[in-house]
Structure 1
Amino acid sequence: MSVTPAEVLLRELGITSPAEIDLEAIAHHVGARVRYCPLNGCEAHILGRGGKAIITVKSGSSARRKRFSIAHELGHWRFHRGKTLVCRVDEYRPREAQSAEKVADGYAADLLMPRYLFEPLARQVGTFTFKTIGELAETFKTSVTATAIRLVELGHLQGFVVCHTPRGRKWFARARSIDRAWLPRDDLDPKSSAFGVQFGGRPDDTAPRKVSAATWLNRFDANRFDVREQTIRTARDETLSLVLVDEKAMLAAK
């Protein structure tokens, strides 16, 4: 796999550990100054002219949200300099369309969790749960959501990461090893632990539990297989679920 532009930059700066990823210093290196102000309607924006830019970040956001916002805007500075964009920074999530926001999100993921630092630590994780994902997120100062998606996209976590609101499925990420015919349901099955966390005030799951794959996936033969599910609340009206696939027969199913 080729080295990404963000990873090239980090290597040029001699960054050899997650603790050394100082986003304000990186921004300064590429001609951007970071400032923090109250913002309404967005998490961050960038204004640039020539080789200089100012990244404005919402001062009231969490430290990890600020880091993602800076990294996202640096993605725009790297790829979209001189173009007019309406940038709305959101939490890192899978995006289907190859949009400017997807490009900036990808750059942010590579900058915050570069493969040459992230993958060796991911390979040391014995079992993926929200606890172990949270520990990895703590190392890289990223959100649990962004870290879980990164694990799926890089092939370390075999399964799905699924986000729900009371209105239904908001988005999902699927491991590349799983056939695209496997799709998470739009709604939450009342038998799933996620239903209780989302609607019943149930506390976060402390560990994955085995359920029928049909609880989560709408493929015609899903009831032939089992998956493991774990759900946590990530916002007032949002839940995040791991749907882990262990059965080789399910991975081989087309």
Structure 2
Amino acid sequence: MRLSPAELLLQELGVTDPTEIDLEAIAYHVNAHVRYRPLDGCEARIVGTADRAIITVNSNSQWRRKRFSIAHELGHWHHHRGRCLACRVEEYRPRSAVSPERTADGYAADLLMPNYLFRPLANAQKKLNFASIKALADAFNASQTATAIRLVEADFAPAMLVCHGPQGRKWFVRSRSVPDRWFPQDNLDAESYAFGIQFGADPDGPILRKIGADAWFDRVGADRFEIQEQTIRTGPGETLTLLVFCDERMLEDQDMRWYGR
């Protein structure tokens, strides 16, 4: 597998285990100094010249958030040196268009969870659920959200990740093996397990549970299938749902209108 720039950097430094990913040391290696200060309105920023940079990270953020911020700014330092950017680092999430921020996010993901280390540990997990996601997040000292996106985008299993807030769906990402026709509804269905977690006092989903696919997808034929759902809270007013496609017929290349009732 071809290595990304971030992965090449890690191998250049001899990183062979997730515990060896020391972001401040990596920054020093590429002539970027990391400092921590209270910041208002952003999580991090970078100021650089031709060959040196200062990365300032919000000292009030949680440690894993700080790690992503450093990795994100190192992405800018690698890809956008010499450009003037107004950078507002957000938690790693799918972005709809190619942009400097998306490029920096991708670099950060490769630096925090390089595929040459991530894939073997991911393959060792028995199944895709939030227990395995948490185990990997702890191993790489990354957030559950970033780790979940990494797993789903890597297509270890046909799955979808959907983030909701009080106003509805905020973003989603699907595995390559899931056809584009499966597009989640904007708002949570009251029949979904996620609804009681997002809007009620239900506890986080402890396991994957089967549910009718029509609770998540508003299209003809969805009611003929079941998927697996697990939802957790990821912040104030925000939930993250993992949907695993357990019926292979949902992955076939055909229009669901041909399924009879």
- After TM superposition, the score normalised by the length of structure 1 is 0.98
| Mapping of residues 1-254 of structure 1, within 5 Å | 1-254=1-254
SS at match of 1:84: coil
Structure 1, unaligned runs of 5 or more: none
**Residues in 1 aligned to 2:234 and 2:121: alpha-carbon distance in whole angstroms:** 24
State the secondary structure of the residue aligned to 2:251. helix
Q: Write the letter of the residue equivalent to 1:2.
A: R
Note the C-alpha offset of 1:223: 1.2
- Give 1:15 shift: 0.3
Following superposition, the deviation at residue 224 of structure 1 comes to: 1.7
Which residue identity does 1:154 align to in structure 2?
A: A
Q: State the one-letter code of the partner of 2:167.
A: R
Q: CA deviation at 1:141?
A: 0.3
CA–CA separation in structure 2 for the residues paired with 1:217 and 1:52 = 49
Letter paired with 1:168: G
Deviation at 1:98, TM superposition (A): 0.3
Structure 1 distance, partners of 2:78, 2:218, is 40
Q: Where does structure 1 differ by over 4 angstroms across 4 or more consecutive aligned residues?
A: none
Q: 1:19 Cα deviation (Å)?
A: 0.3
How far did residue 220 of structure 1 move?
A: 2.1
Amino acid of the structure 1 residue aligned with 2:9 = L
Amino acid at match of 1:175: S
Number of equivalent positions: 254
Paired residue type of 2:157: L
Q: How far apart are residue 5 of structure 1 and its match?
A: 0.3
Deviation at 1:2, TM superposition (A): 1.9
Task: Calculate the aligned-residue CA RMSD, in Å.
Answer: 0.8
| Residue type of the alignment partner of 2:165 | T
Moved more, 150-159 or 181-190: 150-159
Cα deviation, 1:121-172, whole Å, max 9, x if unaligned, reads: 0001111211111011000000000000000111113210100001000000
Unaligned runs of 5+ in 2: 255-261
TM-score, scaled to structure 2? 0.96
Q: What is the rounded CA distance, in whole Å, between the counterparts of 1:248 and 1:8 in structure 2? A: 37
